Amino acid sequence: MSFPSPETIRADFPIFRREFHGRPLAYLDNAATTQKPRAVIEALVDFYEHHNANTHSGVHTLSEEATELYEEARGRAARFLNAPSPRCIVFTSGTTAAINLVAQSWARPRLQPGDEIVLTAMEHHSNLLPWQQVARETGASLRYLELDGEGRLATEHMEKAVTEATRLLAVTHVSNVLGTINPVERLVRQARAVGALTIVDAAQSTPHLPVDVQALDCDFLAFSGHKVYGPMGIGVLYGKSEHLDAMEPHASGGGMVLRVERDGADWMEAPWRFEAGTPNVAGAVALAAALDYLQGFDGEALRGQEIALTGYALERLGERSGLRLYGPSDPAQRAGAIPFSVEGVHPHDVAEILDGQSVAVRGGHHCCQPLMAHLGVPALVRASLGLYNDTNDIDRLAEGLERVAGIFRHD
């Protein structure tokens, strides 16, 4: 375990050697994707240079190596989530694919009219549209848990989060827009009490918080490799074995069958039955390297540092006139995202001018249009933190906002 300074951590990330408009990059778009440490890039290269072969099919040395590396990566992902077994880990292309898998394989064949899927008003489209689709196809209905003034789940909604009709609770662990940390353990307990299952979107929590699926006791959980310093195109679905074993595959083809005849086939057991086609082996191997990298730090110290930096950012931004912050005022109740609006200036114009100062933030609806409607804004600017950010990045953000004010002065 180590806890080096953000400056030392930045040295692990080759991209920070590059200059943008003649300046080093203040990268504050980590909720969209994180940068990659050298260890992850090298894991990708090492796989393709030394171990590249298809898995589970060949008896030759390379194929056996590739298979072993792939299955080791599954074990690494299981340890990352404290899953009871690697067999609870399905590799997918990312969080979106993982949630769609549950929607198609678990929910669609099981839900019917009168059943209820409970969501929150802060869900990313990827934990919203698959459920809209399931509801349309099965006749089930959607219900939303509403937010309070600070972008947290409202207490009165929490108390009545589930009903006897609830079959599934689909909730994000951390909001990609507001940064709000949701009380997932409590929601899972409530769901369990009425016999409903839970799926947790952990895309935004895994980069910032320890995520223990056995402590959460959720039925499914999904996260993306590229948001935890791993490569794009690889992600994880965790599912309790009792569910995965009972689910039909959502896609079929090579690599997921025991025996095929002209008129039928027998599926492999879970998780392999959900991994039709050649898997992203290099991605899985590099994801394992990313998890090693992330868990090589003292997680508690890292979290403490992040809370302090979030507090600093809320303070620096909060003192600007015409700037409105969204999300919980207590930095300890949030992780990563710091959204705001600048009076009279569209978020895209803010992001464009900041880009000119080599400060990377995102402006837009952040794939949360219903949340934008709830907040009464078309879009927001979002700065989001990663391991390598420090107060200097926040200062540069604040200076950039000074330029925004200069350009859009009202006269």
Interacting residue ranges for other proteins, rule: CB under 8 A: 21-22, 345-349, 352-353, 355-357, 363-365, 369, 372, 378-379, 403, 407-408, 410
Spot the catalytic one: 88, 218, 367, 368: 367
Minimum CB–partner distance for residue 76 and other proteins (Å): 36
What are the C-alpha distances in Å from 307 to residues 5, 222, 314, 328, 336? 15, 24, 10, 12, 9
Burial of 71 (0-12, 13-18, 19+ CB in 10 A): middle
Minimum CB–partner distance for residue 352 and other proteins (Å): 6
Is residue 143 within 8 Å of 91, Cβ to Cβ?
A: no
Q: Is 247 helix (H, G, I), strand (E, B) or coil?
A: coil
| For other proteins, the closer CB: 210 or 370 | 370
Minimum CB–partner distance for residue 369 and other proteins (Å): 7
Q: Is 335 helix (H, G, I), strand (E, B) or coil?
A: coil
**DSSP assigned state of 268:** P
How do 362-364 and 380-384 pair as beta strands? Answer: antiparallel
Residue 333: CB atoms within 10 Å: 18
Minimum CB–partner distance for residue 119 and other proteins (Å): 20
| For other proteins, the closer CB: 218 or 360 | 360
Closest CA to 194 of 166, 217, 171, 170: 166
Minimum CB–partner distance for residue 411 and other proteins (Å): 8
User: Is residue 367 flagged as an active site residue?
Assistant: yes
Minimum CB–partner distance for residue 157 and other proteins (Å): 26
What are phi and psi for residue 364, nearest 5 degrees? 155, -165
| For other proteins, the closer CB: 130 or 347 | 347
**DSSP assigned state of 174:** B
| For other proteins, the closer CB: 4 or 356 | 356
| For other proteins, the closer CB: 331 or 347 | 347
How do 257-261 and 235-239 pair as beta strands? Answer: unpaired
Minimum CB–partner distance for residue 296 and other proteins (Å): 35
Q: What is the DSSP string of 279-332?
A: --HHHHHHHHHHHHHHHTB-HHHHHHHHHHHHHHHHHHHHTSTTEEE-S-SSGG
- What number of CA atoms fall less than 13 Å from residue 141's CA on the CB side? 9
**DSSP assigned state of 357:** T
Closest CA to 80 of 182, 258, 224, 259: 224
| For other proteins, the closer CB: 324 or 348 | 348
3-state secondary structure 104-138: HHHHHHHCCCCCEEEEECCCCHHHCHHHHHHHHHH
Q: Reading across the β-sheet that carries 323-325, which strands appear in turn?
A: 323-325, 337-342, 380-384, 362-364
| For other proteins, the closer CB: 121 or 162 | 121
Any idea which residues carry the catalytic annotation? 367
